[in-house]
Structure formats: C-alpha cells, structure tokens
C-alpha cells in the first residue's frame, strides 16, 4: 500500500466529510492512503472504434447528401433522413461519430461536417 506524506501545513482551510464533520489532518491522510487510485482514470477512455448501427446509418446519409448536394446536411435534414423525432438524437450520434474519428465538425458553424473515414460505411 502506498502512503501519502503531507509535508505541508494547511492553514485557513477546513475539510468536511459528506456528513458535515470537520476532518483532522490525520483523517485526511488516512482517507488519501486508503483511496484506490486505480478507480479514478486520469484521462477519458477512448471510444470504441466500431460505430453503432445508427451512427453508420447517419454516416451513410451524410456521405450521400454531400455527394448529391456538395454541402453538409442540416440537423433537420439529418433528423428527417433518419426518421427521428428530435434533433437531440442527431446531436448524440454526431458526437459519437466525432469521438470515433469518423467525422470532423467546425464549432459554431452550420453545415460544417467533414467525413474523415471514407471506408467505414458502405
């Protein structure tokens, strides 16, 4: 078990537990020593490389739309093309595609979707 040394003197700060009890430095050190560091990831886990069926459906729609019109579809056009009820579903699907590295979106711009992976969807 690793131990945490507290060589610093803390002045002016009061630490409370979740029940409102003020903790002493010894209690804080004990809590830090018993904490399982492996439970807290230091960075976000990468998304699975394989897109979901709905993400593939959206990716195919975007590719066809860009091939036909030369511009990216709007959220309403994607919603209608996938027969979804709300645009929030499209937003989640686009975020998933972006996390997987299949599309790139420019922030604060409309119709700014670029397909990166051309072979992921048929």
- Specify whether 26 is located in the same domain as 68: no
Q: What is the pLDDT confidence band of residue 23, given thresholds at 50, 70 and 90?
A: confident
Q: How large is the C-alpha radius of gyration of the chain?
A: 24
Check whether residue 95 and residue 64 sit in a common domain: yes
Q: How sure is the predictor about 120, in pLDDT bands with cuts at 50, 70 and 90?
A: low
**CA 14 to CA 117: how far, in whole Å?**
52
- Other Cβ atoms within 10 Å of 34 Cβ, number: 9
User: pLDDT tens digits for 36-65?
Assistant: 544 444 445 454 567 888 999 999 999 999
**Does some domain include residue 20?**
yes
Is 47 part of a structural domain of the chain?
no
Structural domain of 103 = 53-115
Of 24-28, 30-34, 62-66, 82-86, the poorest mean pLDDT is in 30-34
Residue 122 belongs to a domain: no
- What was the pLDDT predicted at 48? 55
Residues 111, 57 share a domain: yes
81 and 60 housed in the same domain:
yes
Q: Are residues 33 and 68 in the same domain?
A: no
CATH code assigned at 91: 1.10.10.10
**Confidence band, pLDDT 50/70/90 cuts, at residue 109:** confident
Contacts of 98 by beta carbon, 8 Å cutoff, 6+ apart: 104, 105
Q: How many domains does the chain have?
A: 2
Q: What is the pLDDT of residues 74-99, one digit of tens each?
A: 999 999 999 999 889 999 999 999 88
**What is the rounded average pLDDT of the residues 67-71?**
91
Q: Do 62 and 27 have their domain in common?
A: no
32 plus 62 within the same structural domain: no
pLDDT of 118 strictly over 80: no
């Amino acid at each position: 078990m690793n131990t945490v040394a507290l060589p610093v003197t803390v002045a002016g700060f009061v630490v409370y537990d979740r029940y409102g009890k003020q903790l002493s430095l010894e209690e804080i050190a004990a809590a830090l020593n018993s904490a399982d560091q492996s439970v807290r990831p230091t960075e976000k886990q990468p998304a699975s490389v394989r897109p979901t069926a709905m993400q593939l459906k959206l990716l195919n729609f975007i590719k066809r739309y860009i091939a036909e019109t030369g511009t990216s579809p709007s959220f309403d056009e994607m919603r209608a093309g996938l027969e979804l009820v709300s645009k929030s579903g499209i937003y989640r699907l686009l975020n998933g595609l972006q996390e997987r590295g299949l599309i790139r979106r420019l922030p604060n711009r409309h119709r700014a979707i670029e397909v990166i992976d051309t072979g992921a969807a048929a």
